[in-house]
Structure 1
Amino acid sequence: MPRRIYEGYAYSDAARAECIWPLPDQTWPELTDAETTEVAIVGGGFTGLSAALHLAQSGAEVTLLEAHVPGWGASGRNGGFCCIGGDKIGLGAIRQRFGVAAAQAYFNAQRGAIDLVDDLLSTHGIDAETHSSGELQLAHRPDILPTLRAERDLWAEYGVDATLIPQQDLADQGASGTFHGGLHVPLGFALNPGRYLTGLATAAANVGALIRANSLVQSITRSGSTYKLKTPRGQLTARKLILATNGYGADGLPDWLTGRYLPLQSNILITRPLTEDEIFAQGWTTDLMAYDSRHLLHYFRLLPDRRFLFGARGNVRASAQGQAAMRARMRRDLAAMFPAWVNVETPFFWSGLVSLSRDLLPYAGPIGDWEDAWVGMNYHGNGVAMGTWVGARLADLAMGRDPLLPIHARPLPRFPLPSIRRSYLYPAILAYRLKDGPVT
């Protein structure tokens, strides 16, 4: 039987009840009968919708099954950072492990992922409230500055003109706070993920992809050259299969997936709209995507409507009590990092599941030894661009094309003792908090 590793709260509407991002307002039909298709896709987030769109554009018959509605999961409740990312080890470590050529190909993929999102927004006329010329990494301690200098030099090797900003110049950049310097990397942009997902789903449906909502896949079985996907009220038979559930997957669905991903809760706090006086009092006037240098990082940006988005990770308990405790922690962190906003109301808070791999790299490739079956997952909290790009590459695979997958298609290792892998998070988070030091 399929098994999820968190309590039911993590997979309930309660976890996203206060999310400000819009879900598609279309009424998507449920799978209520026995249907057939060429390609079945499980999951209606960035990866699944991108795969559906690209497949349908290529003339394939495709049906997407979503347990709720498109964008309900992590894709529709993230911070909206369309940026470089997908791994948690960095280009330097990737180059050491896989070589110069593979690292360059991976960087090209990351840059291409950003360009793909930009192209989709333009091609399909999606107004996703885009802003921000790249992202700003901020040093939370003085001893982080040498690391930022090294990162600047590494970016230069890949043709990226990253700018190191001394502490005394942060205020001039509209980035005042309790930081000790920053690195501006001019790659990527911010967007409203709900609007982007709505546009993707609409575009995919317009070119012929069938989207079935409220159709939780309960089992996947291989029968000869076909796959049978059972839902509460229907069954879908397909010749090819794409799995795009990421952190919302389930062990045993299929067996190969068990232990090859580790969901982690990411949380977002939103202020009420700030007045111009409040914005200038704090000195945070930039619209750049930003994050600090902690292992358990905070990520934040000033939204176009002048609300402030403040995100963080580090909550292992998936319950109303756990969510309330994380909300209180983040409220304290926001006040410590941006003291002028200590009394600003924060009426919205929600959580979602990102997904990690054991080797801290994204994956796009076969589902074990199953023929004509692929999965894309483990974006380590950076799935806006990478998930979109992986979806397009999975579509290539399903169409018989041979896409460049620089590191994504390596063998995907399992976590040891996979049934208890969530428990690894407790000591890891404690250790990271000790390394990061107090939030000031």
Structure 2
Amino acid sequence: MKRIYEEHGYGDGPVADCYWETTIARPPRGQALQGEVRAEVAVIGGGYTGLTAALHLARDAGADVAVLEANGIGWGASGRNGGFACIGGTKASDSVLTRRFGADGMADWHRAQIASAEHVSDFLERYSVDADAHSRGGEAVMAHRPKDFEVLREEAQTLERGYGVKVDVIGPAELAGEGLAGPGFHGAIRFPLGFALNPLKYVLGLARAASEAGARIFEGSPVSGVTRENGEYRLTTPGGVLIAKKLIIGTNGYSSDDVPDWMAGRYLPAQSAVLVTREMSDEEIAAQGWSSDLMAYDTRRLLHYFRLMPNRRFLFGMRGGTSASATALSQMKAKIRANFERMFPAWAHVETPHFWSGFVCLSRDLTPYAGPIGDWPDAWAGFAYHGNGVALGSYTGKLLAGLATGQGGVPALMAAPPARFPFGRFRRMLLPMAYSWYGLIDR
């Protein structure tokens, strides 16, 4: 595989102390692919996108589907994210997107985002998956500077028009009363769509549902190459080869530049790190003044995201980091802890026994993609959710299943073919420059 970070980033080190792994006992790892296996549809990636595609293909279309996962189910971003099943998926501004896709295109995109969160909620209910879902009140966007609160006031109106919901504007003096207190917050808006969940419980539920629907899932089966021969796709793994008429790739930030070669340069993994506290007492929570269970993030470009979970642990995440070495991971651990203590000083004494990191995925145009793999027939990929993959990654799997059966379309914003980043396999060099600029803007 041709990947652009250090090997440590693709191993067990970054996820060794992941909190989610302590919340549910994984089932025994499934068998790896052995010998020659045939299927109608081959799916690469055992995360939200791949498993949702497999579920819809097997359950709704009766297709013979085989999923290949390099490690274990949800081992990548799907099992280690912050658990925000919310709208989002782009990093480009609405004004830029409106110029590109027009008012109709934006309306279609807004509908897709609403549908993405509903899609996850419907799945949890249909399959009785207890994924600790909470924060049904949506999410709060916290102004980290006074001037950002004025921007949020205007954004609230834009969100109301675009999504047809009531967005609450919360002034600085009202934050404490809403349980959103912190010395670095200068107002907020509350957007009433989406909810929080345990991402690992969710992805394991997806795998179980897909398997029960008839999809075959092979774990420990990394794909080292994809070729097309005699009208079929051949996917090579250490133990064998999977031959299929159709192909779906859902590997997002854990993709490889040569699986297949078309992927080269079209995605950019970026690191996100998370810590989780021990359980806190009511007195400790009151001392800080953050008692809301809303999902929240701040207005920084290198944003922080955080939420108080039902068991009174606090999850705190942030973007950043341009290396995935063990040394860099240790440095990121110290940095995120310092940011946590600065933003929530009353919890400076609270231990954070869980820390981990993983890759989110960007595209050059800062929009997600769901569509064909170049000019290959009957082959599709979905990726670049820009840190919002719980809902959008799942919904993309449904869209890809529709493309594979010829019974669905894709919003224009997601159908635009992804351009390649400059610098090829060295495109990581773009991140330090971008992060330095973002840091200056965020001050």
Aligned equivalents of 2:355, 2:125: Cα separation in 1: 31
Q: 1:118 corresponds to which residue?
A: 121
Alignment of 1:341 onto 2:347: yes
Alignment correspondent of 1:235: 241
Q: Is the 8 A contact 2:370 2:410 kept in 1?
A: no
1:164 aligns with 2:169: yes
1:142 aligns with 2:146: yes
Q: Distance in 1 between matches of 2:282 and 2:366?
A: 41
Structure 1 distance, partners of 2:156, 2:18, is 35
Distance across 2 between alignment mates of 1:45 and 1:345: 30
CA distance in 2, matches of 1:90, 1:227: 38
1:202 aligns with one of 208, 217, 222: 208
Instruction: Identify the residue that residue 11 of structure 2 maps to in structure 1.
Output: 12
Give the deviation of 1:242 after TM superposition.
0.2
Q: For the residues of structure 1 that align with 2:96 and 2:144, how far apart are their CA atoms?
A: 22
Give the counterpart letter for 1:197 in structure 2. V
Query: C-alpha separation between the residues in 2 aligned to 1:340 and 1:90?
Result: 35
TM-score by length of 1: 0.98
Partner letter of residue 421 of structure 2? F
Partner of 1:84: 87
Percent of aligned pairs with the same amino acid: 50
1:304 alignment partner in structure 2: 310
Question: How far is 1:407 from its partner?
Answer: 1.3
Structure 2 partner of 1:151: 155
Letter in 2 for 1:272: R
Q: 1:277-323 CA deviation, whole Å, 9 max, x = no partner?
A: 10000011000000010000000000111111000011111111111
Structure 1 runs (4+) greater than 4 angstroms displaced: none
Cα pair distance change 1:127/1:90, threshold 3 Å: farther
Task: Please report the TM-score for the alignment, with normalisation by the length of structure 2.
Answer: 0.97
Matched, 1:129 2:139: no
Q: Is the 8 A contact 2:369 2:414 kept in 1?
A: yes
> Matches of 1:127 and 1:407 in 2, distance apart?
33
**In 2, Cα distance between equivalents of 1:189 and 1:28:** 30
Distance, in Å, in 2 between the alignment partners of 1:42 and 1:106 is 26
Q: Does 2:37 align with 1:35? A: yes
2:381 aligns to what SS in structure 1?
strand
Paired with 1:272 and 1:145, the residues of 2 have a C-alpha distance of 31
* 2:261 counterpart letter in structure 1: D
For 1:40, give the aligned amino acid: A
> Which residue of 378, 391, 413 maps to 2:384?
378
> What does 1:185-224 correspond to in 2, within 5 Å?
185-224=191-230
Deviation for aligned residue 1:429:
0.8
How many Å separate the matches in 1 of 2:291 and 2:331? Answer: 29
Per the TM alignment, residue 355 of structure 1 is displaced from its structure 2 partner at its CA by: 0.5
Tell me what 2:423 maps to.
417
Contact kept, 8 Å, 1:44 with 1:70, in 2: the verdict is yes
Aligned residue type for 2:366: L
Q: Please give the root-mean-square deviation of Cα atoms over the aligned residues, in Å.
A: 1.0
1:212 Cα offset (Å): 0.1
**Aligned counterparts of 2:28 and 2:41: Cα–Cα separation in 1:** 23
CA offset at residue 198 of structure 1?
Answer: 0.9
Deviation at 1:25, TM superposition (A): 1.6
Q: For the residues of structure 2 that align with 1:325 and 1:113, how far apart are their CA atoms?
A: 35
Q: Distance in 1 between matches of 2:410 and 2:348?
A: 48
Q: CA deviation at 1:431?
A: 1.3
Aligned to 2:333: 327
1:291 equivalent in alignment to 2:293: no
Q: Deviations over 1:33-91 (max 9, x none)?
A: 11000000000110001001000112000000000111000111000000011111243
Q: Distance in 2 between matches of 1:70 and 1:162?
A: 36
**Is contact 1:161-1:185 (8 Å) kept?**
yes
Question: How many residues get paired?
Answer: 436
Match of 1:102 among 96, 102, 105: 105
**Residue 78 of structure 2 contacts residue 390 of structure 2 at CA under 8 Å; is this kept in 1?**
yes
Alignment pair present for 1:3 and 2:2: yes
* Match of residue 174 from structure 1: 179
Amino acid aligned to 2:147: D
User: What do residues 81-106 of structure 1 show as CA deviations (whole Å, max 9, x unaligned)?
Assistant: 00011111243432222100000000
Structure 1, unaligned stretches of length 5 or more?
Answer: none
Match of 1:368, SS state, is coil
Whether the aligned pair in 2 keeps the contact of 1:24 and 1:197 (CA below 8 Å) is: no
Counterpart amino acid of 2:99? Q
Matched AA of 2:8: Y
Q: Supply the distance in 2 between the matched residues of 1:270 and 1:417 (Cα, whole angstroms).
A: 36
For 2:12 and 2:423, locate their aligned partners in 1 and report how far apart those are by CA, in whole Å.
30
Q: Alpha-carbon deviation of 1:417? A: 2.1
Distance 1:8 1:25 in 2: 27
Deviation at 1:349, TM superposition (A): 0.4
1:49 aligns with 2:51: yes
SS in structure 1 at match of 2:332 = helix
Amino acid at match of 2:34: T
Q: Secondary structure at the match of 1:268?
A: strand
Report what 1:70 is aligned to: 73
Q: Which amino acid aligns with 1:167?
A: P
Secondary structure, counterpart of 1:353 in structure 2: strand
Using the TM superposition, give the Cα deviation of residue 24 of structure 1 relative to its aligned residue in structure 2, in angstroms: 3.5
- SS of 2:349's equivalent? coil
Aligned equivalents of 2:429, 2:10: Cα separation in 1 = 18
Structure 2 unpaired stretches of 5+: none
Aligned mates of 2:153, 2:412 — CA distance in 1: 27
Bigger Cα displacement from structure 2, 83-92 vs 22-31 = 22-31
Residue 433 of structure 1: CA displacement? 1.2
1:315 partner SS = coil
Query: Is the 1:24–1:70 Cα contact (8 Å) retained in structure 2?
Result: no
